Structure 1
């Protein structure tokens, strides 16, 4: 499932007509939360989901009537019905989902281009959209500059936020009747996997599936390549110590060490421990990590890596690591 950042890239790289469906309000419970995006393309492709399959067909039918029109509409779906006549067909979600549906015209496509440039610079943006004045939309960056089709004062500021924390909601504009939807959108998270062995392959695949941009680092070109990691963003083949020194790691980045080489891991940890990272994990037991560090494991290093789910084998271990990555990114654990 593509992230919002990947959806924006899809829009910018494909000129065919496309409609954006965006959940801006949920009352009660629902399958997806506020801030969920979905694209519907003219060729029939759907990118992303906003429900468990209850609403997508109706949205697709609406999109067919909207392609190349520049139209925008709001649709409210009541999923609380307990019979087969409701949208949930008896699923009992007990929620009302409000969806903002927009044909992406040239103006909004240009707006997404500007937003995409912010993501490439690894900067979050605060996207805002008037719920009543459909042509009123804008985004703020960390410098509190904005690029927009907005008229009047913007009632928001983008303060410092915890990396990747969600911030979605609505507020009134200067206590007026106009409601403003806002959504803090972060750049696509980067995951650097050091070690391109067989056990790294399912990790890379699963991480991409949940929105990570995966980068592989290894000294072995026969392993570190597109054949074994078809969904990775980049491959860096050289002495891994040199590679680490040449990467500009940021507090938004995650690193997983899985070289299976004790001496190399010790050197890598020495280079990485001074970097402020969102996540740093190393494969192996707690005792092994303590030996290579020469001390107790600091609480910001994840070892043993992954959530404790009794995982066995590369696929299950990859699941546990990705689960921990998500938990850290969402603020569930530190």
Structure 2
């Protein structure tokens, strides 16, 4: 499954190719997996003519061999399906430390930009859940894969879609269905160095968001430079009137003011934010928990990874938000005893 960040990177690289005369590339998409593989159905990698890649599939797949196959597909100009299983390519999977099996589609990319990219940009800029349907042609066809995109109604509700991908045989090729839940929207209250680090790391995850504060001066002094983020002066009681807060929103308050933290968290609670978090000692945590009784409240916010610096705290908080988003408890994978995807 592709993440929002990967979708944006792929779209950006595809657009650059379309604006470069004579440029060629191939898009590699995982269609089927079985057993232990590093990535799952829907994960994709773009391979350029010079062998460089965007969004490497990494770890559990024979990437070097796939890149070589992709160069062949660019020359031949038609889609190829390659399986790595017990009958073929198993040694490559074992070298990669992967005991599973997978099948990929490798499609040539060249020529004019598809209209799909414009639709994707518009959807990524929204807060809506959406579905991408990709129809891959039969291996002997020279026709390109086609993609369509549609909104998923009610997809910003908790657990309405849950990110997922599946493929099925279709007219000699495959049809891939990818459903993306509404993206995480993060509101960080309190203009501070900690908030700036949190915003920057969240933006790297592909999350959009906003830093709010009751002071324009503090917001300007913070010098927020996280891509896709902005700063807004808004008091807690005006939060829902100024910003779109919904069930895909996480609210983290770090104003270092007890009353303000409680007020911002209550505003998020009233709007059904899926995650509420704030920093502080255990004593402060008890006071806040009493004032904001909610199962989505995390105080002190973050996973216990020994965080000390502002950047480490941001990592801890982002990890906990991600765990909450996927209904995981954040335990070590070595102790999970179950599937990791």
**TM value normalised by structure 1:** 0.77
CA distance in 2, matches of 1:87, 1:136: 30
CA distance in 2, matches of 1:325, 1:205: 15
The DSSP-based 3-state class of the residue aligned with 2:33 is: strand
The DSSP-based 3-state class of the residue aligned with 1:281 is: strand
* Structure 1 unmatched runs, 5+: 145-157
**Does the aligned pair in 1 maintain the 2:73–2:80 contact within 8 Å?**
no
CA distance in 2, matches of 1:233, 1:140: 23
**Does the aligned pair in 2 maintain the 1:81–1:92 contact within 8 Å?**
no
* Residue aligning to 1:77: 84
1:238 aligns with 2:227: no
1:5 to 4, 7, 12: 7
1:141 aligns with 2:158: no
CA distance in 1, matches of 2:305, 2:39: 25
* Residue aligning to 2:221: 223
Deviation at 1:323, TM superposition (A): 1.5
Deviation at 1:143, TM superposition (A): 5.2
**Deviations, residues 205-242 of structure 1 (Å, cap 9, x unaligned):** 3323333224333431443324xxx3332221424445
Deviation at 1:299, TM superposition (A): 0.9
Change (3 A) 1:11 1:143: farther
* Residue aligning to 1:31: 38
1:208 aligns with 2:238: no
**Does the aligned pair in 2 maintain the 1:30–1:94 contact within 8 Å?**
yes
**Does the aligned pair in 2 maintain the 1:196–1:224 contact within 8 Å?**
yes
Alpha-carbon RMSD? 3.7
CA distance in 2, matches of 1:311, 1:320: 7
Change (3 A) 1:195 1:51: same
Change (3 A) 1:143 1:330: closer
Deviation at 1:192, TM superposition (A): 2.1
CA distance in 1, matches of 2:158, 2:108: 31
**1:252-291 correspondence to structure 2 within 5 Å:** 252-291=248-287
CA distance in 2, matches of 1:91, 1:12: 28
CA distance in 2, matches of 1:2, 1:60: 23
**Does the aligned pair in 1 maintain the 2:44–2:55 contact within 8 Å?**
yes
CA distance in 2, matches of 1:2, 1:309: 26
**Deviations, residues 114-160 of structure 1 (Å, cap 9, x unaligned):** 2332332322222223455464543443259xxxxxxxxxxxxx9x8
CA distance in 1, matches of 2:4, 2:149: 21
CA distance in 2, matches of 1:81, 1:285: 57
* Residue aligning to 2:298: 302
The structure 1 segments of at least 4 consecutive aligned residues displaced by more than 6 Å after TM superposition are 79-82
Deviation at 1:4, TM superposition (A): 3.3
**Does the aligned pair in 2 maintain the 1:128–1:138 contact within 8 Å?**
yes
* Structure 2 unmatched runs, 5+: 139-143, 331-341
Q: Which has the higher helix share?
A: 2
Deviation at 1:103, TM superposition (A): 2.8
The DSSP-based 3-state class of the residue aligned with 2:56 is: coil
CA distance in 2, matches of 1:161, 1:292: 24
